[in-house]
Amino acid sequence: MEKKRYSIFLIFFFIVLCTVTVYGISAVLSFLNTGAERASILHLAVKSSQVYLPKTTWLSFDNPGREMEEQTAKEITKDYLNSWHIKNVAYKDNSTFGIQDYYTDSAQVNLIKSIGYNAEKKLKLLTTTLSHHLKLNFYSADGQLVVFTDNNVEKYTRVVKNKDVVTEVNELNSYKVMMLLEDGFWRIRHLVQSPSIPQKKSKILRPYATTKNDSILINGKKFTIRGVNYYPQESAWDMFGKKFDSLTIHNDFKLIANAGLNTIRIFVQYKDFGEADVLKEKLKKLKTTLQLAKQNNLKVIVTLFDFYGDYSVSNWTLTHRHAEQIVSAFKNNTSIIAWDIKNEPDLDFKNRGKKNVLAWLEYMIKEIKKYDKNHLVTIGWSNSVAAKHLHKQVDYVSFHHFNENLKNDFADLKKEIPNKPLVLEEFGVPSYRSIWNTFSGYSKKSQATYHQQIQTFLNEQNVSRLSWTLYDFKKIPTSVAGSLPWRKNKQKHFGFIDSNGNKKPSFDFINSNE
């Protein structure tokens, strides 16, 4: 009996072994039959397509010798960008993994020396390049060698030692590049740095939205924002999701306009819109929203990167491609006043690192301005103190305020930043009392009193503002307010209209022009 069991076990093991072997062979054959190059089986370096996407353009393919084939140009571009990505990873990890795949033996020498030096000194370089402008200089008749210039490469480097940031370096350089075709792949043979080439400045027509001193201008005329932060009541924090309904939005916008307001603020979520590869159906919904705003004479502030919280240098180019696609699509849209880069990024200082967040924001400002000269750029800080960050880089300063010290806080910020528009981008109190806030909570009546007093002050100072928010909500996502009931329930009651669709007393002061 024991011998019979042993025989059965051996037969079963043999069958499993044969199955695994056949599957492995079939997988290899399937891979080869897809048309992929055989050599790519041995190309072990990390793929960069989903983590590194700098803006790359070929300025010229003019070549006195052999004509550059379109497919070859794509392969050169891919392997060239991979060489930068691998080098960035190598400097970050102080590892030589993958370098041999993208650099010839001679080209590896100095790179390996640099990595060894950094490892010895316990230095790490967090680097990325943001744009490449390639111009062909020579392509050999046998198709084995290419020489080109990479003009005005934007490069950012953060030097870290023992988790402390030593310095940050912003560079603009050009490179002479020689690549050889070896084993089916283009490898760097020479990469020689040279000074950047001055760029011709194109003539810019007067932007649609501008600022002058402490005023916002639309088509040259002063514009004071009187608005509200907006989500449809049935799709809070998911405006562009499955419940997107143009009729609901149109009716809401009509209600807002009839209340005497002129602006709404909406939110675009990074992941929901497709990250680096923005989804066309999401852009279509955003376009519809902007058209509905125009029909109701409302201007729009679009807040980007909602629920984004990475900020790592290695992912910068992905966020840049995300911003480029959205901003470029609406750069001439006359409903938009401004792009708000990120909602309350200062709340990420503790967990993500203040320097990481600020560096990402600063470069994102530059990136958006590169693609859109028509609209303003701001950042939605959670309070007036945080709003002092990067105030010289933004077009106007936005801050949020949810307590009763607005007069003093506004005066301090105005003193610190006297010649730039200040926008109170979120403010309000919830009409909510429970066991958690029996003595500190607001009733519907006291909520109305709060808004009456705040609006009076804002009118006296002629402050641009957007209240939070049009509606009360029945459900608040845990990702927004956490799971604690006293926080989550409070977030449901900031609106001027309750969850049953009835106007609260505060609606009388959603826009006070007295």
**Contact at 8 Å (CB) between 338 and 423?**
no
- Residue 178 predicted with pLDDT over 60: yes
Q: 124-138, 290-304, 482-496: which has the minimum mean pLDDT?
A: 482-496
Q: What is the pLDDT of residue 39?
A: 36
- The per-residue pLDDT for range 107-134, each reduced to its tens digit, is 999 999 999 999 999 999 999 999 999 9
% the chain with pLDDT above 70? 87
Q: 82-86, 191-195, 282-286: which has the minimum mean pLDDT?
A: 191-195
Average pLDDT on 325-334 reads 97
- Residue 44 predicted with pLDDT over 50: no
Q: 203-212, 343-352, 393-402: which has the minimum mean pLDDT?
A: 203-212
Q: What is the pTM of this model?
A: 0.87
Average pLDDT on 412-437 reads 90
- Residue 501 predicted with pLDDT over 50: yes
Run of H or E including 119: helix 105-120
- Residue 20 predicted with pLDDT over 60: no
Q: What is the pLDDT of residue 49?
A: 54
Average pLDDT on 283-302 reads 98
Average pLDDT on 282-301 reads 98
Classify 435 as helix, strand or coil: coil
% the chain with pLDDT above 90? 77
Average pLDDT on 298-310 reads 97
Share the mean pLDDT of the chain.
89
343 CB-contact burial (10 Å; exposed 0-12 / middle 13-18 / buried 19+): buried
Query: How would residue 12 be classed by pLDDT, with cut points 50, 70 and 90?
Result: low
Query: How would residue 442 be classed by pLDDT, with cut points 50, 70 and 90?
Result: confident
Alpha-carbon distances, residue 110 vs 79, 96, 136, 161, 359 (angstroms): 20, 12, 25, 21, 29
CA distance 498 to 284: 30
Residue 18, Cβ neighbours under 10 Å: how many?
10
Q: Reduce the secondary structure of 37-84 to three states and give it as a string.
A: CHHHHHCCCCCCCCCCCCEEEEEECCCCCCCCCHHHHHHHHHHHHHHH
Domains with residue ranges and CATH for the chain: 43-195 (3.10.450.240), 209-509 (3.20.20.80)
CA-angle at 171, arms to 169 and 177, nearest 5°: 130
Comparing 460 with 46, the larger pLDDT belongs to 460
**Contact at 8 Å (CB) between 230 and 249?**
no
Bridge partners of 380? 343, 398
- Residue 309 predicted with pLDDT over 80: yes
Identity at 417, one-letter amino acid code: I
- Residue 346 predicted with pLDDT over 70: yes
Closest CA to 303 of 231, 379, 413, 372: 379
- The per-residue pLDDT for range 45-87, each reduced to its tens digit, is 455 557 899 999 999 888 777 889 999 999 999 999 999 999 9
24 CB-contact burial (10 Å; exposed 0-12 / middle 13-18 / buried 19+): exposed
Average pLDDT on 228-254 reads 97
Two tokens, residue 436: 């958690």
Query: How would residue 34 be classed by pLDDT, with cut points 50, 70 and 90?
Result: very low
- Residue 170 predicted with pLDDT over 80: yes
Q: What is the pLDDT of residue 459?
A: 93
Run of H or E including 178: strand 164-182
Q: What is the pLDDT of residue 202?
A: 58
Q: Reduce the secondary structure of 27-44 to three states and give it as a string.
A: HHHHHHHCCCCHHHHHCC
Q: What is the pLDDT of residue 513?
A: 62
Classify 366 as helix, strand or coil: helix
CA-angle at 314, arms to 309 and 315, nearest 5°: 45
CA distance 10 to 17: 10
